[in-house]
A = this chain, B = another copy of it.
Amino acid sequence: MNGLGVGVVQMAMGPSAPHNIETARRLVIRAASMGARIILLPELYKTPYFCTVEDVAHFDLAEPLEGESFAAFSPVAREQGVWIVVPIFERRAAGIYHNSVILIGPDGTRQGLYRKTHIPDDPGFHEKHYFTPGDLGYPVFDVGGIKVAVLICWDQWYPEAARLVALKGAQVIFYPTAIGWTPSEKEGEGAMQHDAWRTVQRGHAVANGLTVAVANRCGYEPTPGGEGIEFWGGSFIAGPMGEIVAEAGEEETVLVTTVDPAASERIRRIWPFFRDRRIDLFGPLTQRFIDDEEPRP
């Protein structure tokens, strides 16, 4: 099997960007030494999760596509001969910022870009303030003969996004993410939330017959005037039957597995879901909601 070594970095972020970059660099090199050929960092790896509040000063944290993160990881990619999926807070123009990833190739150049399409906004996660919804659709990238896609955090709850990249031939979906509990949530529905998150992504692997690789943050980050967030870690890689092939706990971790390029072909012969999709009936998926044709009394 001439497979693709897939690496996932789980790390905790502190207030210092140079420190976070250095941690990420060290773990990327470790993943490469373990056989990874493409390595995923967690969402917004360079900073604490700053969206807990709305503060226009935080726009200063953004960087251009070929900014500090690119400068840091381009040489690593070249030296290690690997692909690196680097999440950035992208400054595109005055007043247009995105939650993005750049894909850096083994030659050190930028080979791909995705901008998060689904933007959450809930207490403690004020992302609609910071991030313009992505306008690049759902690209896939050719990585040494295997097609991969990147979807970011909130995107991971949407079967439509996973399906669209699968329809473009993706065999691996990477999900950089930043998800956790407030300490009080953890006590209550914490385990159930974690399992829901794990299950829906494993479900995408099953429904599409492909591999899913998820990199989350770990560690506690204080929030101004709040309880803080405990990022739950639990980064994982699931195969095309949704089976967990590697999974992290709550600590800094590097996961590496090999994706068999024939796996999707094999599973889709046994469970040929793509053959039977009722595309003639799927048009209403582009509706926000399908209201009653005949309102009931």
CA distance A204 to B117 in the complex (A): 20
> Copy number in this complex?
2
Given contacts A159-B207, A199-B206, A207-B159, contact A290 B117 (CB under 8 A): no
Using Cβ atoms and an 8 Å threshold, which residues of chain B touch A192?
241, 243
**CB < 8 Å neighbour of A282 from B195, B206, B286:** B286
In the complex, which residue of chain B has the Cβ closest to the Cβ of A127? B276
Given contacts A277-B288, A284-B164, contact A193 B241 (CB under 8 A): yes
Check B281 against A283 for contact (C-beta < 8 Å). no
Contact with B along A196-223 (1 / 0, CB 8 A): 1001101110110000000000000000
Count the A residues whose beta carbon is within 8 Å of the partner chain — how many?
58
In the complex, which residue of chain B has the Cβ closest to the Cβ of A154? B276
Check A157 against B206 for contact (C-beta < 8 Å). yes
**CB < 8 Å neighbour of A289 from B117, B157, B167, B203:** B167
Check A281 against B137 for contact (C-beta < 8 Å). yes
Residues of A within 8 A of B (CB): 117-120, 122, 133, 137-138, 142, 154, 157-164, 167-169, 189, 192-193, 195-196, 199-200, 202-204, 206-207, 241-243, 270-274, 276-290, 292, 296
